Amino acid sequence: MEGRDVADWVRRRIGAAIIERVAGPPDPARRRPVGEGWFPPGRPIRQVHADASMFAGGIRALLLQSLHPLAMAAVAGHSGYRGDPWGRLQRTSYFLAVTTFGQARDAQEAIARVRAVHQQITGTAPDGRPYAASDPHLLTWVHIAETDSFLRAHTRFGARPLDQAGRDGYVADMARIGAGLGVPDPPRTEAELTARINAYRPELAATVEARDAARFLLLHPPLPPIARPPYTVLAAGAVSLLPGWARWQLRLPRLPVSETLLVRPAGHAMVQAIRWAITAP
């Protein structure tokens, strides 16, 4: 095998391993998530969700979402994030793929399945308050935390960061998915998104469950030893995207000089490496 052939073989092997871990093994029962859909080519949501920065954005989203005690109680009680973390990731990955790139019919079916699951998730948080995954207030928090995380990760680590109009367009695109899931009046610009997150701050707090989830995600992920170093770099990049108040609540250290000189460049390099592996030559 010539040098270029070896490089292509390595790229394919690494890329296939990453994709299988995130999206799951090929499933003939699932229609290919490509076709006439909600978002035509050129829409910002396609650019963001096709970029490797989504890996960092996903970790950041989970950390930020955990700061709402009722949302975290629902995750801890029903999601199986410890027992089957990769299964949960793969279901989320498929949902994002089909709603972003898939046919309109498939996107609507995926939305309906998630809404049906949400109807079954109810319980009582450790502080005694009842919760329901279908609660529009909790749905809004999960939606805005996810939208903000993917957008910030793409702005920091994306191959072609969006301009202001593009960022507003991404929030507007995500609003269509959020509205389908039951989010009332989702934000449609970056400024509205920031304002909505700030409005939730008085009710956010890092519970024992939230800090335990952060330790699991950052320190004890269920990965083979060979994958832990690159994951650690990616996770550090995700943490660097969190606002200071969120990091303080989760007891995650903030070292501005180290982040500027080490964490952010390393995060860029890791995202670029993932992009190289999963992008066809």
Residue 182, both tokens: 């039951």
Write the DSSP assignment of 172-204 as a string of letters.
HHHHHHHHHHT-SS---SHHHHHHHHHHHGGG-
Please, where are the H alpha helices in the chain? 3-23, 44-49, 54-65, 69-78, 85-101, 104-119, 136-157, 164-181, 190-200, 208-219, 228-240, 244-249, 256-258, 264-278
CA distance 59 to 149: 9
Confidence class for position 226, pLDDT limits 50, 70, 90: confident
CA distance 243 to 91: 27
Residue 220, both tokens: 């004890």
Tell me the pairing of strands 122-124 and 130-132.
antiparallel
Residue 136, both tokens: 């529009």
Query: Quick one: 264 exposed, middle or buried, by C-beta within 10 A (0-12, 13-18, 19+)?
Result: middle
216 compared with 93, residue with greater pLDDT: 216
Segment 100-141, tens digit of pLDDT: 999 999 999 999 999 999 999 999 999 999 999 999 999 999
Quote the pLDDT of residue 10: 45
pLDDT at 26 over 70: no
Residue 201 lies in domain: 3-278
pLDDT at 268 over 50: yes
> What is the pTM assigned to this prediction?
0.85
Q: What is the mean pLDDT of residues 8-22?
A: 47
Domain count, the chain: 1
How far from each other are the two terminal CA atoms of the chain, in whole angstroms?
A: 17
9 compared with 48, residue with greater pLDDT: 48
